[in-house]
A and B are shown apart, each in its own frame.
Chain A
Amino acid sequence: MSADTPPLPLRIRGLAKSVPGGRVLFEDLNLDLRAGEVVAVTGESGAGKSTLLNLAAGLDSADRGEIEIAGQALSRLDEAGRTRLRRDRLGFVFQAFHILPHLTLAQNTALPLVLAGASGEPALARAAELLAAVGLGGREADFPAQLSGGELQRCAIARALVHGPALILADEPTGNLDPETADRSLGLLLDAARSRSAAVLLVTHSARAAEAADRILVLGRTGLTDRHGG
């Protein structure tokens, strides 16, 4: 890679992982994600899709192989370094939304900024911009109990984008939503990510959700393969 080429948001080489008890999830997994690219990963239950996301987030450690996030090799970072990397370079969207019930929407959205050291007012102002971008303008002071599932997921998307991450890890983001809301939410996430040049690694069981991605990969014991055999 030349010096003036920006590093890939995600680069995985030779990744292997087995679970306690010895069952191998995958061996020699390789993946490159470019800025603004959306890749969907599908596979059977227990194939290791969520484990792959945890590995990419630095929340779990691989048996072998290397993961680079925006040019930084996770294996060379200690726990504090991986925490900083998550805080600064990664965004997360979960199936269960994980919106903190006692914080307002603006506070929930601003969490990554506050964790990075931003003070309250600028962080809340930036959160309001993102909430407006996902269609929740004017609801900054609302609490999660006042929102529907789709609205909660939109808040989660705003939180995932608020700090300008290089990579968004989305774990079954439409799993708790009806098809129509799921389509809208996913479209919002992918459009917002693409417009901000953030790559998205989308783990899903839903073929409909996967269709929205630029590439669809199937996770198996030998690693990731293109759904169409590529």
Chain B
Amino acid sequence: MAADPPLSRTLLGWMVRGEWRAHPVRTLVAVLAIAVGVALGFAVHLVNRSALVEFDAAVRSVSGAADLRIEAVSAAGFDESLFPVVARLPGLAAVSPVVEVPARTADGRSLTLIGVDPLRAARVTPALAAGSGAGFGAGGALAFEDSVWLSPALRPDGDGTFAVLAGGHRIVLPVAGGLPSVEAGRRIAVADIAAVQQRFDRLGRLTRLDIALAPGARPETVAKAIAARLPADARLSTPEAESRRTGDLSRAYRVNLGMLAMVALLTGGFLVFSAQSLSIARRRAAFALLRVLGLPRTGLFLQVLAEGAVLGLLGAATGLAAGAGLAWGVLGLLGGDLGGGYFSGSRPALDISPGWAAIHAGLGLAVALAGSLFPALEAARAAPALALKSAGQSGDPRRRPALLPAVGLGALGLAFAFAPPVAGLPLFGYLSIALILAAGVAAMPWLARLLIAPLARIGAPVPVRLAAARLAGAPDQAAVALCGLVASAGLMAAMGLMVASFRGSVDDWLGAILPADVYLRVAEAETAGLDTALQARLAALPGVGRLEARRSLTLRLAADRPAVVLLAQPLPAGASAPDLPWRRGPVPAAPGETPVWVSEPLSRLYDLKPGDTLDLPLAGGRSPVRVAGVWRDYGRQFGALAMDRRDYVRLTGDAGANEAGLTLAPGAHLPDVLQGVRAALPPDLAAQTEVAPAGEIRRAALRIFDRSFAVTYALEAVAILVGVAGVAATVSAQTLARRREFGMLRHVGAGRGQILAMLALEGAFLGAVGAVAGLALGAAMGQVLIQVVNPQSFNWTMDTRWPLGLLGGLAVALTLASSLTALLAGRSALSADAVRAVREDW
């Protein structure tokens, strides 16, 4: 006797083609569900990867051969006396001093002005030393001092010069040439270091030293020697660390977007499950026949699984192509940060990695296989003789649906919600959400019976009792129809809850941090801007009741982390702490101590709490300060700390400011004050100063918030569409598969209207159960997003806000959509043509 043949490819081909020929639309929906998930996941990955590759290349193009880098911890820079100290150390081939000034062009667009010593830069960062090449030539040193070189993204002004605005100064330099090696899209202007220092108040200060090691020198030894000589306001770093920091800036955002894309894929998986379950229920007799004719149980299992794999492969291939196209379009339209605001101005080229394409295709395949697994097992388990006799019959209506698996999954999901982040990412949080979702889907048969069975017992009209009896008697079928709907409704409710909570909390926060009427901010002016005389002039303007000048500057507290923001601001009269949206504290500082109030992200990133001490790198020294409170901040993801401006001036001697809040005097007219403030600013400074009423800033901030969530909404909407398509496909298929039942009902006296009413009610019951379950699941998953995923991803918390309108609308819409779908499918199933037709498509 012949041994069992492996899965017959011939049979697989016949069955797959036959099924697809008979139900092309249903098959297409399942393929598209996978394709959409793969496309979104792959597109998000491609955009992220392309952006990071571009940034890495950009960092390298300006870092050149630098092996090490000494960076200033703040925009104030470090003393240039460090340069000769470092340059004399053994093991170094070259050291290039650099001054960087954030600046603007005459048309208000930002750029970075870099001052270098061309001869030294040529040995370490040749891309920044174009002036030392052919164009520089004999006698060029003098020309260099008076000239500027521009990266490809910058263009000279009409007369061959280039105007740069920074720190309230405007200088115009002749353009001597270009910087062809600088990455396209980077807005960089290079000039002589001495000229930049002199003209932008940076005399004696450096931003960084780029260092090339001598051949054979050990980086660790050199680093150790340098570290021993570093002042408090400089840190040792590497170009790799900068690339990493750039990636870290947006990592959580990118991972969250990736996870959202996976949500669409997961919903697609549920749709494959629905499609395969229905397909198998419909083909019960066919599979039983194959078993009788000699197809082994494992052969049938593999056959069904292989059908799912074919769906997955087609979906994955379509998804990869669509994802690449989508990413290309998105990079052109939104840039590399998908609206997140991390990589503004970049337009990276698409960078496709075959390995990652294979991973995403594999995910699509895995989801399709997972969706086919239970249907395949069910098909293989069925007794062939019984299945041949009673094709398409549902199970015993007296059987109680099991709740225990759902409880187990839910408990596990709850437990994972309390787990800490992994490598700064809320991986257990996502796992928790997935398990809660799985628990919800597993509980659907139980819930469907619990909610619907009572309707069958009460003295309701016949259609209601018929509909309720069927759904309560076949809760597994109801669950199959519902799982895609519950998954997508739950995820939408969860996202809606999180976004509403986030937006509400951001709105409250904006109200708390913008108490004044008008705000003024000098852009690109960390070390200059509003001097004391100008502050006094502004305070004395008509209509200005009070002016609170503030200095904000970036500080690097750790070499491997993005910079934090220091806000030196005046305290309200008689108060010992500023008015901030407090999370903890404020607590009074002991006499003689300098209090600082840290933002929530800073508190979480650096593990700081009230009472802790911190050494701030200020003015070339280290200033011990005491943490006296933690406040909510959504503006600076990597942390901020506030301190009394008097303390800041005392510690640094810097009485300048670059921001100010103006409170209007009673009766003052806002437009007049705005005009007065703008007129009071020197022209060069006015060009780089933003003056706006608090209300406008608040509206703009919320606009940015909504824009940054636009991609999130889009991904979510796709997941919902996939889910609704799944419900439509499932409900239609189940309805059409019941033509015999309808025929019987017609024979025993049920009217066409009564049957349609029954179907519409069944659909409505299904939709309502799905909505109830989805909202309950959404509430649970939303809390995980609010309490776990957001704090672990972005280090900020938020207060829960219930978007009752959205959730109620969602419930009504799902109920109506489900009812309508069932009704439409029912009309088709009851038509005479359809009854005669063998093709049971929709």
Contacts and interface: CB of A to CB of B under 8 A. Distances in A.
B228 to A, nearest CB: 75
A114 B11 contact: yes
Contact of A84 (B4, B14, B290, B385): B4
A94 interface: yes
A7 to B, nearest CB: 13
A87 B293 contact: yes
Interface stretch (B17-25, B305-313, B359-367): B17-25
A120 B295 contact: no
Contacts of B295: 83, 87, 115
A209 interface: no
Contacts, number: 90
A103 B21 CA distance: 10
Nearest to B20: A102
A174 interface: no
Given A59-B385, A83-B296, A101 B2 contact: no
Given A114-B10, A114-B11, A57 B293 contact: no
B385 A54 contact: yes
Contacts of B22: 101-102
B832 interface: no
Interface in A96-125: 96, 98, 100-103, 107, 111-112, 114-120, 123
B385 A112 contact: no
A124 to B, nearest CB: 9
B167 to A, nearest CB: 76
A141 interface: no
A84 B292 contact: no
A117 B294 contact: no
A220 B628 CA distance: 95
B384 A59 contact: yes
A3 interface: no
B297 interface: yes
A115 B14 contact: no
Contact of A102 (B5, B21, B294, B296): B21
Interface string B1-33: 111110010110111001101100000000000
Nearest to A144: B838
B824 interface: no
Contact of B5 (A72, A96, A98, A116): A116
A119 B10 contact: yes
Contact of A114 (B3, B8, B384, B388): B8
| Chain A interface size, under 10 / 10 to 19 / 20 to 34 / 35 or more | 20 to 34
A60 interface: yes
Nearest to B838: A145
B286 interface: yes
B2 A117 contact: yes
A98 B388 contact: yes
A60 B2 contact: no
A226 interface: no
A85 interface: yes
A115 B18 contact: no
A144 to B, nearest CB: 8
Given A59-B385, A80-B296, A112-B294, A103 B18 contact: yes
Nearest to A86: B294
Contacts of A111: 11, 290, 293
B292 A86 contact: yes
A114 B18 CA distance: 16
A115 B292 contact: no
Contacts of A159: 293
B498 to A, nearest CB: 45
A101 B14 CA distance: 12
A87 B291 CA distance: 9
Contact of B294 (A103, A116, A118): A116
Interface residues of B, number: 32
B285 A84 contact: no
Given A59-B385, A100-B286, A114-B11, A84 B21 contact: no
A26 interface: no
B289 interface: yes
A88 interface: yes
Contacts of A60: 385
B18 A102 contact: yes
A145 B836 CA distance: 11
A90 B522 CA distance: 90
B1 A85 contact: yes
A83 B297 contact: yes
A115 B289 contact: no
A74 to B, nearest CB: 13
Contacts of B15: 102-103
Nearest to B17: A102
A96 B292 CA distance: 14
Contacts of B11: 111, 114-115
Given A84-B1, A94-B388, A79 B8 contact: no
A83 B294 contact: yes
Nearest to A117: B5
A88 B2 contact: yes
Nearest to B295: A115
A84 B388 contact: no
Contacts of B299: 115
Contacts of A119: 10
A143 B292 CA distance: 22
B293 A112 contact: yes
Nearest to A92: B292
A82 to B, nearest CB: 10
A59 B2 contact: no
A57 B10 contact: no
3 shortest interchain CB distances as A-B pairs = A87-B294, A102-B18, A117-B5
20 contacts: A80-B296, A83-B294, A84-B2, A84-B4, A87-B293, A87-B295, A88-B2, A98-B289, A100-B18, A101-B18, A107-B18, A111-B293, A112-B294, A115-B8, A116-B2, A117-B5, A119-B10, A120-B13, A123-B10, A145-B838
Interface of B: 1-5, 8, 10-11, 13-15, 18-19, 21-22, 285-286, 289-297, 299, 383-385, 388, 838
Given A88-B1, A107-B18, 12 more contacts: A84-B2, A86-B293, A92-B293, A96-B388, A98-B286, A102-B19, A107-B14, A114-B8, A114-B10, A115-B295, A117-B8, A120-B14
